[in-house]
Chains A and B, each alone.
Chain A
Amino acid sequence: MAKDIADSAETNMKLIEEVLAAYPDKAKKKRAKHLNVAAPVVEAEPGIQSKCDNVKSNIKSVPGVMTIRGCAYAGSKGVVWGPVKDMLHISHGPVGCGHYSWSQRRNYYTGTTGVDSFVTMQVTTDFQENDIVFGGDKKLEKTIDELNMLFPLNKGISIQSECPIGLIGDDIEAVSKKKAKDIGKRVVPVRCEGFRGVSQSLGHHIANDMIRDWVLEAGEGARAGYEPGAYDVNIIGDYNIGGDAWSSRILLEEIGLNVIAQWSGDATIAEMERAPAAKLNLIHCYRSMSYICRHMEENHGVPWMEYNFFGPSQIAASLRDIAAKFDARIQANAEAVIAKYQPLVDAVNAKYKPRLEGKKVMLYVGGLRPRHVVDAYHDLGMEIVGTGYEFAHNDDYKRTGHYIKEGTLIYDDVSGYELEKFVEAIRPDLVGSGIKEKYNTQKMGIPFRQMHSWDYSGPYHGYDGYAIFARDMDLAINNPVWGMFDAPWKKTA
């Protein structure tokens, strides 16, 4: 073990201990299991740099500690279903959930909003006390009728349950069946009440299961009569944040593949219906959509593979891995595409690497980014000194070892207190996390980028996205504002 790794491992372990000291005993015991440093690999495995699955994950958050996590509704409506653009998504229950999640994930789409596309709309049954007391099924039925009348070009409706629905015993499945018949479109009930599970993660899973049961296995839809091509693939688990799926799609098309469906950024229900006809599922966000890939593999014989379109190293590796599943023509195309973009990569690196080399980064994000973006930073000469997930499972932490070096600080479901203390102690050059973490970090004088929404920038996927990513990291770190925090008349001790 190199000395600097041993040093950082030891310092980080000490830091964890110090941070845990603030907790009452019960909470301390619980939280201790979620904090660790990336350990050395015991048995050498190809591509594995460290052992990161030495933290517990996907466990209930400790009450009162200021978890950064969201809920199952956020996982279903906010992540999986919300971006499906030609469906109306009803936030079923009180007004708040739909309000706070309204237009906040930047799932880009084309179309005419309010006419044939509905992503940036907040549609809700706006529950009142009467609905809680007497049940909301009748209101839901009429809501569907009203929506279908006002938005005749909608291709379906999903019902995103908020907490009360599961508590008052409503039968949204019965309503869905009835109304699907009435309006002749898909009506999908999703029981993603916020109290289910421990984070967004169960919401992803439930949402995937409902796609399985109420879309893929409920009639062929647009799949009927579709003649599958030899190069048909799907992009799965790309939410087109800032256009990510588009800057990925363009590369896949360039190497000669046909992307017949995007899930679920800029998706239409027809694309989803047709997806099982593809030859291969390409999954970007493993955490939120692996479930449907497994289903399509088992029931429709569609194999799937993970890929990573963050940063040129991973993009090139992924393009080669994807091409390897096809013929020599596609493989040659992949090489040509990689070569075509190499000058862009070289120019980006020449411009930004000198400004970013050696800068230390801490990440705390959601489903795939705490590992997937790591090599994009490496491509710019930057270093990851801490990473963690809001709602990962053990298999995510296992995969994290592909990217993260030994001694890196790992934190699962980090609390506001822990993250603040970690950042304060490590003082990285950049923190990548969410809106709730942005402003407190910046006030400490540490540059920050939101890594859920790309801080209103993007896309970050693909070669086109890499240039934007590099530009954004540079502008965050190298802005002159960070040098003006201290008043010049203030004497330093």
Chain B
Amino acid sequence: MPQSAEKVLDHKDLFKEPEYQAMLEKKRATYENATPAETVAETADWTKSWDYREKNLARSCVTINPAKACQPLGAVFAAAGYDSTMSFVHGSQGCVAYYRSHLARHFKEPSSAVSSSMTEDAAVFGGLNNMVEGLANTYALYSPKMIAVSTTCMAEVIGDDLNSFIIKSKEKESVPADFPVPFAHTPAFVGSHVDGYDNMQKGILSNFWKDAPRTAGEGLNIIPGFDGYCVGNIREMRRMLGLMGVEATVLGDASDVYDTPSDGEYRMYAGGTTQEEIKEALNAKATLSLQEYCTRKTLAFCEEVGQQTAAFHYPMGVKATDEFLMKVSELTGKEIPEALRLERGRLIDAMADSQAYLHGKTYAIFGDPDFVYAMARFVMEMGGEPKHCLATNGGKEWEAQMKELLASSPFGEGCQVWAGKDLWHLRSILATEPADLLIGSSYGKYLERDCNVPLIRLTFPIFDRHHHHRFPTFGYQGAIQVLVKILDKIFDKLDDESDISFDLTR
């Protein structure tokens, strides 16, 4: 008997015990009608061949292991960045259970959102009654200061009109007439979670800015974009701006709500951009987006109201941080202080110390378009060579931007850009044209196993490692975190593979 009270074996070890191995072997041999082992092995080899790769890359209909989620997830995340705001997702209720679970699994934090719980009758008659009743319940139970409404694909397919539904709900006194209920249509069959983020940001801003008079001022707004590292990153960005003496308004600051303390009190809401701040933000001189692909519509709207705009691709690494700080300096007239120059120097120092281990390492990188751009750029700054850059939710424009970036450095030579491809494509790609390291989310662990390429988790979602998001990847300090993560993986691998060269000092 393998189990004992002294040393309890759970799934990791229990099923390796001979009793279980024999049982599983018998099950397979007797009942499963399993494919013979040699055929499985042959087929497994074939899935790693060029022939398979060609067939795999030629598929036009099925998507397998895509690195993207759907719009409403982005909308729920965007709304979480606003003070005491409850996301209300209009449509089927299962979707909301999924978004909440997904965010909770990444942040290891509660994630709140409600559904209008539409069922078959609502599919026939529309979901107006669900919204009227739902808004009233949400308002009564959860005392939000704002309810941000988005849609599941069900509501989109039947054509429910959020604007008129919200007006009618207010007429029926579900919520007070002056209670803010911004909304965004977020069809899951268009774009991905980054577009849902964009749509909800625009929905919230336009709710407060439309028809409001603008007095152009000197303020600066920053929109972080969909970022699983928002907790560490927004705080780091605020710290850097603080060193510059810049007071910027972060539009959609989820750093507190996804990082509440354990002290006996559950806070459904924490921090976030207040409505006063949103209103005042209209007068800002400029709005900066830290992730272009998360804010294309939102920035266009900011331009419409008369603001200057600039978009970055995730300010991670040396030059990306330089550019961000210089832009802030240019817009605010504040100089970049010596303290930040020293921080920059420390990052460069760290990179110089470790360059022997970084130079020439090859990488496959996947994730959202802005992340992949920033990561590839930083990799090249370290003397690494991106070989494959993949964004399932990246389009032609992103592909062109990536190619331009890669062409700007000799380290980008020979890198292939895979827009719109999924992680099953990447499996074939890595099996035929390998890289030393893989950078992406937890979903990359299957590639790590199948293609024997070490995975460095640096983007959302990270389910199987804890607390990474508490540390920044933005700015010079964040870049050091990223550098250390990459180096640790390189050194661990080196030690694992070393016998004679098992050196104490590296």
Once the chains bind, are A246 and B119 in contact (CB under 8 Å)? no
**B11 and A108 contact, CB distance less than 8 A:** yes
**Contact flag A164-B40 (CB < 8 Å), given A439-B108, A468-B10:** no
| Chain A residues within 8 Å of B60, by CB | 142, 146
Interface positions, chain A 5-41, Cβ under 8 Å from B, are 22-24, 26-27
Contact A123–B70 (Cβ < 8 Å)? no
Identify which of B5, B115, B119 gathers the most chain A CB atoms within 10 Å of its CB: B5
Interface residue? A395 (CB, 8 A): no
Query: A465 CB to closest chain B CB, in angstroms?
Result: 9
- Asked if A318 is at the interface (CB within 8 A of a chain B CB), the reply is no
Inside 8 A of B265's CB, which chain A residues have their CB?
Answer: 443-444
CB distance from B171 to the nearest CB of A (A): 16
Are A271 and B31 in contact (CB-based, < 8 A)? yes
Q: How large is the interface on A (under 10, 10 to 19, 20 to 34, 35 or more residues)?
A: 35 or more
- CB of B6 within 8 A of CB of A347, answer yes
Contact partners of B61 in chain A: CB under 8 A: 125, 139-140, 142-143, 146
- In the bound assembly, the distance between CA atoms of A458 and B11 in angstroms comes to 6
Among the 9-residue stretches A89-97, A297-305, A328-336, A373-381, the one with 4 or more Cβ atoms under 8 Å from chain B is A89-97
Contact A152 B43 (CB under 8 A): yes
Which residues of chain A come closer than 8 Å to B101, judged between CB atoms? Answer: 100, 104, 434-436
Q: For the complex, is B504 an interface residue (Cβ under 8 Å from A)?
A: no
Contacts known (A115-B43, A143-B61, A195-B119); A71 close to B11, Cβ less than 8 A: no
Contact yes or no, B94 A69, CB < 8 A: yes
Shortest distance from the beta carbon of A139 to any chain B beta carbon, whole Å: 5
B283 contacts A by Cβ under 8 Å: no
Once the chains bind, are A67 and B115 in contact (CB under 8 Å)?
yes
A179 within 8 A of B: no
Binds A, one of B14-22, B302-310, B468-476, B481-489: B14-22
Residue of A72, A194, A243, A271 most packed against chain B (CB within 10 A)? A194
| B-chain residues with CB within 8 Å of residue A153 when the two chains form the complex | 35, 39-40, 43
Q: Is the CB of A350 within 8 A of B98?
A: no
CB-based nearest A residue for B25: A110
Distance in angstroms between the alpha carbons of A268 and B11 in the assembled complex: 21
Which of under 10, 10 to 19, 20 to 34, or 35 or more describes the interface residues of B?
A: 35 or more
Min CB distance A10 to B, Å, is 25
Which residues in chain B, 258-309, are within 8 Å of chain A measured between CB atoms?
A: 260-268
Q: Of residues 221 to 261 in B, which have CB atoms within 8 Å of A's CB atoms?
A: 260-261
Task: For A63, give the chain B residue with the smallest CB separation.
Answer: B134
Do A149 and B55 touch across chains, with their CB atoms under 8 A apart?
yes
A347 touches B4 (CB 8 A): yes
Near A by CB (< 8 A), chain B positions 82-125 give 88, 91-95, 97-102, 104-105, 108-120, 122-123
Segment of B135-143, B204-212, B325-333, B334-342 in the binding face? B135-143
Q: Given the complex, which residues of B lie within 8 Å of A481, measured CB to CB?
A: 262
Contact with B along A154-181 (1 / 0, CB 8 A): 0100000011101110000000000000
Q: Which residues of A contact B112 (CB under 8 A)?
A: 66, 416
Segment 182-218 of A: residues with Cβ below 8 Å from B: 194-198, 200
CB pair A167–B141 under 8 Å, yes or no, is: no
Q: What are the residues of chain A within 8 A of B457 when measuring CB–CB?
A: none
A91-120 interface code vs B (CB 8 A; 1 in, 0 out) = 001111101111010001011111110001
Which of A66, A93, A444 contacts B264 (CB under 8 A)?
A: A444
Which of the residues B8, B98, B267 comes within 8 Å of A100, measured between beta carbons? B98
- Residues 1-57 of B contacting A (Cβ, < 8 Å): 1-6, 8-11, 14-15, 19-20, 23-24, 27-28, 31-35, 39-40, 43-44, 47, 52, 55-56
Q: Which of A54-71 contact B (CB under 8 A)?
A: 60-71
* Min distance, Cβ B378 to any Cβ of chain A, angstroms: 27
- Is the beta-carbon distance between A96 and B98 smaller than 8 angstroms? yes
Binding site for A on B (CB under 8 A): 1-6, 8-11, 14-15, 19-20, 23-24, 27-28, 31-35, 39-40, 43-44, 47, 52, 55-56, 59-66, 68-70, 72-73, 88, 91-95, 97-102, 104-105, 108-120, 122-123, 130-131, 133-138, 140-142, 152-154, 157-158, 187-190, 192, 260-268, 424, 427, 443, 446, 450
10 example contacts (A-B, Cβ-Cβ < 8 A) are as follows A61-B115, A63-B115, A63-B131, A93-B189, A164-B153, A194-B92, A417-B142, A459-B11, A467-B4, A481-B262
Q: A-B pairs with the 5 shortest C-beta distances? A: A71-B94, A64-B134, A96-B70, A63-B134, A270-B33
